[in-house]
Chain A
Amino acid sequence: MSKTITIDGKKIPFSEGQTIMEAATEAGVYIPHLCHNPDYEPHGSCKLCTVSVNGRNCTACTFPAMDGQEVISESRELEHDRQRITQMLFVEGNHFCPGCEKTGNCQLQAVAYHLNMLDNHFPHFFADREVDASHPDILIDHNRCIFCTLCVRASREKDGKNVFAISGRGINKHLIVNSASGKLGDSDIDVNDCAAHICPTGAILIKRQGYRIPIGQRIYDHKEINEVALEQEREGHGG
């Protein structure tokens, strides 16, 4: 007989070694997330997928599913926490959606829509962050980096290059590039690398294609991220 967990009262089967997130995704249950992508090692940094497991909070993307677990994901408290976490991401960086070419295709924005986030609640940091346009085909706008490390993982795990890393702690945390100058243009990243395409926000962009699909006709202009994520991630591709 297969082992099961329950998520919000719904019985969900899982196979040995699966995380709660993997079991949920396979069963068509969406748990909000940003740093999780099924194609990469879990990182557990964004904390959006925080769920209550047998009364204790933990991240669904890193916590193993175990027989008989009672998982709560859609409680009022957890949804409130997720909204606050997303608001913190917005005020820590400089996310000006009307001026960002990723708008409508941005997972950070889409998660915020999904959580019905109408304001940023906290005072804004307006942190000074740089733009690195030194690469001929790829742009980094550090204003939009949420430190999900998907580019770090993609470069290491898929591209075999180790182009990116996170340096510093707390407010001094920042994305660094593995080149003598620290500039992307001097690194060995290529426009076809997975790391160049994995960013969930507008922090890493491919140049000269930002407005090919007009605003208003983009992914999350019409579809909620829960539908999109489940469609893509159940097939085993994180998009």
Chain B
Amino acid sequence: MADKIRVATTSLAGCFGCHMSFLDIDERMLQLAESVEFDRSPITDIEHCTNCDIGLIEGGVCNSENVHVLREFRKNCKILVAVGACAVNGGLPAMRNHIDLEDCLKEAYIDGIGVENAQIPSDPELPLLLNQVHPIHEIVKIDYFLPGCPPSADVFWKFLTDLLAGREPELPYELVHYD
């Protein structure tokens, strides 16, 4: 039997909504599992991505760890896919790009309503925030883009089944949404 296609997934500055939408392919997941094996993903809890055929990236880049993970995926995945509005254009997290980072942190951790023990987190293990949230194509080369907030389960299905069948993936009009 031929080796299975290895797929890795991760969420950077995203809400995991794209992963939830992926799971909405429902029982088709069993059909997918016949030809696909998951590497790093929330399903497997593997910490680092290894050699893979397809990497699905949800979320934009908002901190130093996001940059690191994204580069690791690019290094290890033959095909890298930007999944969802945040990965494609920064999405709603990028709406903070017009607010000074210090003001942003103060609002969240010092001045916010109901904040107790007000302090800006400064543990050295926390990844450093970037001044702005960026779409992932600004950091590494991306091979395919699946827009949507989130892309529907049918988008994931159409894209993956096209790719697995050796066809150039194509999304019909009704599957392309930016919202």
Q: Is the CB of A98 within 8 A of B149?
A: yes
Among B91-99, B110-118, B119-127, which stretch is in contact with chain A? B91-99
Residues of A within 8 A of B134 (CB): 124
Q: Is the CB of B98 within 8 A of A126?
A: yes
The CA of A123 and the CA of B101, in the complex, are separated in Å by: 20
Among B23-31, B49-57, B140-148, which stretch is in contact with chain A? B140-148
Contact of B132 among A113, A119, A126, A224 (CB under 8 A): A126
The CA of A197 and the CA of B142, in the complex, are separated in Å by: 38
Is A150 part of the binding interface, using a Cβ–Cβ cutoff of 8 Å? no
Is A112 part of the binding interface, using a Cβ–Cβ cutoff of 8 Å? yes
Q: Is the CB of A97 within 8 A of B149?
A: yes
Is A104 part of the binding interface, using a Cβ–Cβ cutoff of 8 Å? yes
The CA of A215 and the CA of B179, in the complex, are separated in Å by: 8
**Listed residue (A95, A118, A222) with the most chain B CB atoms within 10 angstroms of its CB:** A118
Residues of B within 8 A of A99 (CB): 92, 95
Residues of A within 8 A of B94 (CB): 94, 96, 124, 126
Q: Is the CB of B88 within 8 A of A98?
A: no
The CA of A82 and the CA of B114, in the complex, are separated in Å by: 49
Q: Given the known A-B contacts A119-B142, A124-B90, A215-B179, are A97 and B85 also in contact in the complex, defined by CB atoms under 8 Å?
A: yes
The CA of A120 and the CA of B92, in the complex, are separated in Å by: 15
Contact of B92 among A98, A104, A224 (CB under 8 A): A98
Q: Is the CB of A128 within 8 A of B91?
A: no
Q: Is the CB of B132 within 8 A of A118?
A: no
Which partner residue on chain B sits nearest A129 by CB separation? Answer: B98
Is A109 part of the binding interface, using a Cβ–Cβ cutoff of 8 Å? yes
Is B135 part of the binding interface, using a Cβ–Cβ cutoff of 8 Å? yes
The CA of A128 and the CA of B95, in the complex, are separated in Å by: 11
Chain B interface residue count, CB cutoff 8 Å, equals 29
Q: Mark A88-103, 1 if CB is under 8 A from B, else 0.
A: 0010001111111001
Is A116 part of the binding interface, using a Cβ–Cβ cutoff of 8 Å? yes
Q: Given the known A-B contacts A90-B89, A118-B146, A224-B173, are A97 and B178 also in contact in the complex, defined by CB atoms under 8 Å?
A: yes
Whole-angstrom distance between the Cβ of A168 and the nearest chain B Cβ? 19
Contact of B176 among A96, A98, A118 (CB under 8 A): A118
Chain B positions 72-113 with a Cβ under 8 Å from a chain A Cβ: 82, 85, 88-92, 94-95, 97-98
Query: Closest 8 interchain pairs by CB?
Result: A97-B178, A98-B149, A119-B145, A118-B145, A103-B179, A126-B97, A97-B179, A98-B179
A interface residues (Cβ-Cβ under 8 A, vs B): 90, 94-100, 103-104, 109, 112-113, 116, 118-121, 123-124, 126, 128-129, 215, 221-222, 224
16 A-B residue pairs with Cβ-Cβ distance under 8 Å, sorted by A, are: A96-B91, A97-B178, A98-B85, A98-B178, A104-B179, A109-B178, A116-B176, A118-B176, A119-B137, A120-B88, A124-B89, A124-B90, A124-B134, A126-B90, A126-B97, A128-B98
Contacts A103-B178, A116-B176, A118-B146 known; 12 new A-B pairs at CB < 8 A:
A96-B92, A97-B85, A98-B85, A98-B92, A113-B173, A113-B176, A113-B178, A116-B171, A120-B89, A126-B97, A126-B98, A221-B177
